[in-house]
Chain A
Amino acid sequence: MLGEGILKGMAETARNFFGSYVSKERLTTVQYPEEREKLTETARVFPFLVYDEGMKNGEQAEWLAGLRCTSCQICEKECPPKCIFIEKSKDKKLDAFGKAQFYPVRFDIDVAVCMSCQICVEVCPFDSIKMDNQFELSTDDRFGGLLIPVEGLARSNSYYNTIHPTEAAAVDKHRQETKAMLAAKAKAAADAAAAKAAAKPGEGA
């Protein structure tokens, strides 16, 4: 009969209407500023720069001394919307592997331009730039506030471990292995040099 479907539909919406007052499962809305859902481990919004804790370089702050970034500028060149600006330092500092590297004196990322594509993370050979899950980046200052400088971007490795535990553990493992490998290589080289030095006098004799 004509109108049957309408009545069925009205019954369905009435069930929803009254059901939403009775059962809490129906209301899926999260009341955002007061309630927050836990972010998943894979949540990613905006890049940050990782620094290793406990590093020292003269008068420099801990974050700058431990900064993994060597200002190689690969990310700056690869960034599709060109939101990264890097200025390389004149001097060098020792990195976590004991190698002298440049470091960034300026490293700005424009929040308004960044599109969270993660390409900078993919291309970084130093595991320096990673994605943060911090999404409340709005500001009332649309010029200065949206351009985040290096001191605003630096986060410790332990912070990285808290937001992306699995990924960070893999990175740490890889870095340890590299460090061990480098150490072994250095030791082998030193041994070889020592052996050479030891063999030299004999040869001359």
Chain B
Amino acid sequence: MFATLDQIFIILRNLVLGYLPEVVRPYVSVVLSVVCIVAVFPGLFALTTVFERKGIARIQNRLGPNRVGPFGLLQPIADGIKSLTKEDIVPTTANGAIHFLAPLVLVVAVFMGFAVLPMGRNMVLVDMDCALLFYFAMGASSELAVFMAGWSSRNKYSLLGAMRAVAQMISYEVILLLSGLAVVMISGSLSLTKIVEAQNVYTGWFPHWFIFTPWGLAGFVMYAIAATAETNRSPFDLPEGESELVAGYHTEYSGFKFALFFLGEYLAMFSISGLGATLFLGGWSAPFSFLSWVPSWIWFFSKLMLSIFVFIWMRGTLPRLRQDQLMNFAWKFVLPFTLYNLMVTALWRFMGDGWERWVACTALVIAGYVLLGRISMRREHFGPRSYRYAE
């Protein structure tokens, strides 16, 4: 019964494929999976927008949207209709073709990332050997879309926003990759299904998720920081800092193109949360061995939604960073610590299975964190500024 429920989507797909001739089956199979991804994640996006608004409202002791439908749950439909009926304005001096292509490129690049995410047992669109590499390559191409948007708008705010975005995304892309690399070092594979299988092992009740190891926890925290920056979420939402840049790279977008940017941002959040869950939180595996009967895709999506909740929580808590703070944080603390964590991971890999590696690696991670935090994030005091002529 539960085994059927676990594989329900695979069974349904095979059922449909059974009615078709042998020749077209692989193509239809891919199309079906793609349609599911393209339908499910924008649906999640619609739900997330309303939950985000309600969550942030609650954090600020407000009520949030509660007018459209029961508890305001139909708000995304109203928003969708609104953005569809709005006039699509393209600036006369904009580079039309690129301006048009940018939101599409963004959404397509983000959707490509979902192709390699294992969303349940046997539920992966393409089971690549180098899935992680493919994912990062696709993640990097969304930067191109952001810069296309900013440059083609011919607006100084857009361009500034896009340049900030590119600087930020390139800086944090390195961290994202390096924190993911620790997982590859331990599991010995770039294939995401293999990485999940490596974590789907239990000692007693407890799973061997990478987050429960010292290097994994450190890697996960760094991954979460980099993921927040990579998806331009608060507190790293400088590319669209509305207080100084109007709306950053999508200032000159309106109507449905703007909605596509919005969609792209949230989809990137989903996919990066999904990857984080796959790398560190055991993907679709259950948190306790006695819960393994719950369908695997439920675990994947609950981990994903939990990450989204943390994203929203952080957005409701932290103020936006300044550009120099953002860069200093990336290059002076996060990147060195991630590199250091790689060395700790290597130590873990070669210390054998005993308890010694737990002690050694935990101590090293904590010591490294504290020391690096002290040294590199130290506040520098320059003393009062003196003016030669003005005084």
Q: Which residues of A contact B (CB under 8 A)?
A: 1-3, 6, 9-10, 12-14, 16-17, 19-21, 26-29, 31
Mind listing 9 A-B residue pairs with CB under 8 Å? A1-B369, A2-B369, A2-B374, A9-B318, A10-B317, A17-B58, A26-B61, A28-B61, A29-B62
A16 and B318 within 8 A (CB): no
**Known interface pairs A2-B377, A6-B318, A9-B318; A16-B58 also in contact (CB < 8 Å):** yes
B55 and A27 within 8 A (CB): no
Q: Which residues of A contact B62 (CB under 8 A)?
A: 20, 27, 29
Q: Which residues of B contact A1 (CB under 8 A)?
A: 369-370, 373
Q: What's the nearest-Cβ distance from chain A to residue B116, in Å? A: 31
Contact of A2 among B317, B318, B373 (CB under 8 A): B373
Within B39-73, the residues touching A (CB, 8 Å) are 55, 58-63
A13 and B313 within 8 A (CB): yes
A9 and B317 within 8 A (CB): yes
Number of A-B residue pairs at CB separation under 8 A? 45
Contact of B60 among A3, A6, A14, A16 (CB under 8 A): A16
Q: What's the nearest-Cβ distance from chain B to residue A26, in Å? A: 5
| Dominant secondary structure at the B interface | helix
| B100 at the A interface (CB under 8 A) | no
| B136 at the A interface (CB under 8 A) | no
Cβ-closest chain A residue relative to B66: A31
Q: Which residues of A contact B9 (CB under 8 A)?
A: none
Contact of A16 among B59, B314, B333 (CB under 8 A): B59
| B316 at the A interface (CB under 8 A) | yes
- Interface size grouping (class) on chain B: 10 to 19
* In the bound complex, CA of A21 to CA of B313 (Å): 16
Contact of A20 among B61, B313, B373 (CB under 8 A): B61
B59 and A17 within 8 A (CB): yes
* In the bound complex, CA of A152 to CA of B62 (Å): 38
* In the bound complex, CA of A20 to CA of B59 (Å): 8
Q: What's the nearest-Cβ distance from chain A to residue B53, in Å? A: 13
* In the bound complex, CA of A122 to CA of B60 (Å): 42
Q: Which residues of A contact B374 (CB under 8 A)?
A: 2
A29 and B313 within 8 A (CB): no
New contact pairs (11) apart from A2-B374, A16-B60, CB-CB < 8 Å:
A1-B369, A1-B370, A1-B373, A2-B377, A6-B318, A10-B314, A12-B317, A13-B313, A16-B58, A27-B61, A29-B63
